[in-house]
Amino acid sequence: MPRSVRVTGWGAHAPETVLTNADLERIVETSDEWIASRTGIRERRIAGRDETTATLAATAGLRAIATAGLDPDEIDLIIVATLTPDYPMPATAILVKELIGNRRAAAFDVAAACSGFAYGYATADSFVRAGAARHALVVGAETLSRVTDFTDRNTCVLFGDGAGAVVLSASDAEGGGMAGLELTADPGGCELLWIPSGGSRRPVSPGTLARGEHTIRMDGRETYRYATRTLAASAEAAIARAGWTTADVDLVIPHQANIRIIDSVARSLGYPMERVFVNLDRYGNTSAASVGIALAEAVGTGRVQVGDRIVIVAFGAGYTSGAIALEWTADPAASARAAAIPPVRFAHPGDGGTDEDPVPAVLRPILAAAAAAAT
């Protein structure tokens, strides 16, 4: 049995094409001023037709494996947290296994929406702690642009695409890694933030398609209230389980949903914003990918040092929440190794073989303009 389970690798990836608030002004009745002041978001990334949740996850995963100094075949567990899998079945983690060139890992997905990275991390930590895996890859990855209703200004300004990953490894050294965990699930939120159709309860039909029920539906105010209530409480519970006080924490990495929610959590915990990592202005809300991308950026930009105590905390559909208090042990300089990993793309457009373009029609001109500008 290992003495500890530590983060040894980290990586992130977002598609190249940027969807700005100005682009959204041409799609729905909104304004850069409204979006920036109510959410803090200025732009987000959108996946092209040769990118899916699996390709974004594979790129972030390969970057995490590179920072860990491992070969992809040394990974023996792959967990992908997502609400936008490539297919209802098989699990996206299986596709990621193939894309990264791994032949031996067990692979499955976890579904906990924006809290998925914390749920996936906790699951992988348990496998490694129990001796059932030596190196586990956890990826939060989303292509939310594929399940967003671009006629609904309440939601379409919020979401973006991307992936963030960590490698957790067994260690013979004492300490480090996850010290405290809090996971919650509140069924009262099931129909306040959801995709109503596409499952066994309400299969996709001409009626559900016409009503847009295959896309994200959200009660923004209720979700806002839930988030501000829950995030600080979950973070405090994880900190207490670690045997720390809030004063011991060097950096909080919250789910990047809304700057006003993040401000309110910082206030509740008594932290100045310098102790809270924010990148939502550039990515929007990438759901399960959010804290994974933020963690990789925080380490890569020198915000995390060996010995630092950090807390990742997220909330999402369910309603769920997840908080992990962890001690950082890896050399942040290893971040540089991720730069050598180029984006993984499908050789074929569409879903890996058909001519169907998975990109929503309203986004295709933006992707085409970005491609033209790049050549």
From first CA to last CA, the distance across the chain in angstroms is 53
CB of 204 vs ligand ACO, minimal distance in Å:
20
Q: Is 85 exposed, middle or buried (0-12, 13-18, 19+ CB in 10 A)?
A: buried
C-alpha closest to that of 123 among 177, 64, 166, 79: 79
CB of 327 vs ligand ACO, minimal distance in Å:
27
Closer to ligand ACO by Cβ: residue 195 or 334 = 195
C-alpha closest to that of 95 among 152, 141, 63: 141
Give yes or no for a contact between 74 and 105, defined as CB atoms under 8 angstroms apart.
Answer: no
Known catalytic residue at 214: no
Residue 316 near ligand ACO by CB under 6 A = yes
Known catalytic residue at 255: yes
Residue 229 near ligand ACO by CB under 6 A = no
CB of 324 vs ligand ACO, minimal distance in Å:
17
Q: 179 — phi, psi (to 5°)? A: -110, -25
Catalytic residue among 21, 114, 135, 156: 114
Catalytic residue among 21, 102, 258, 285: 285
Give yes or no for a contact between 56 and 138, defined as CB atoms under 8 angstroms apart.
Answer: no
Give yes or no for a contact between 295 and 324, defined as CB atoms under 8 angstroms apart.
Answer: no
Residue 110 near ligand ACO by CB under 6 A = no
Contacting range for ligand ACO; rule: CB under 6 A; set: 6-14, 102-110, 153-161, 237-245: 153-161
Closer to ligand ACO by Cβ: residue 171 or 234 = 234
- In the region spanning residues 120 to 149, those forming contacts with ligand ACO, defined by CB under 6 A, are none
Catalytic residue among 13, 21, 255, 258: 255
Q: Which of 317, 330, 338, 344 binds ligand ACO (CB under 6 A)?
A: 317
Residue 165 to residue 242: CA distance in whole angstroms? 23
CA 79 to chain centre: 12
CB of 101 vs ligand ACO, minimal distance in Å:
31
Q: 166 — phi, psi (to 5°)? A: -135, 155
Known catalytic residue at 285: yes
DSSP conformation class of 359: S
Residue with tokens 């309860």: 201
DSSP conformation class of 88: S
Residue 193 near ligand ACO by CB under 6 A = yes
C-alpha closest to that of 136 among 68, 76, 63, 74: 76
Residue 39 near ligand ACO by CB under 6 A = yes
- In the region spanning residues 161 to 190, those forming contacts with ligand ACO, defined by CB under 6 A, are none
Residue 242 to residue 3: CA distance in whole angstroms? 16
Closer to ligand ACO by Cβ: residue 39 or 53 = 39
Within 13 A of 9's CA, how many CA atoms are on the CB side?
31
Residue 350 to residue 204: CA distance in whole angstroms? 20
C-alpha closest to that of 326 among 302, 304, 305, 310: 310
CB of 74 vs ligand ACO, minimal distance in Å:
32
Closer to ligand ACO by Cβ: residue 222 or 250 = 222
Residue 258 near ligand ACO by CB under 6 A = yes
- In the region spanning residues 356 to 375, those forming contacts with ligand ACO, defined by CB under 6 A, are none
Q: Which of 55, 59, 84, 285 binds ligand ACO (CB under 6 A)?
A: 285
Contacting range for ligand ACO; rule: CB under 6 A; set: 11-19, 30-38, 231-239, 273-281: 30-38
- In the region spanning residues 208 to 227, those forming contacts with ligand ACO, defined by CB under 6 A, are 218, 220-221, 223-224, 227
Question: Is the CA virtual torsion 320, 326, 330, 335 positive or negative?
Answer: positive
Q: Which of 66, 113, 296, 311 binds ligand ACO (CB under 6 A)?
A: 113
Query: What are the residue numbers of the active site?
Result: 114, 255, 285
Binding site for ligand ACO (CB under 6 A): 30, 34-35, 38-39, 113-114, 153-154, 157, 193, 218, 220-221, 223-224, 227, 257-258, 285, 287, 316-317
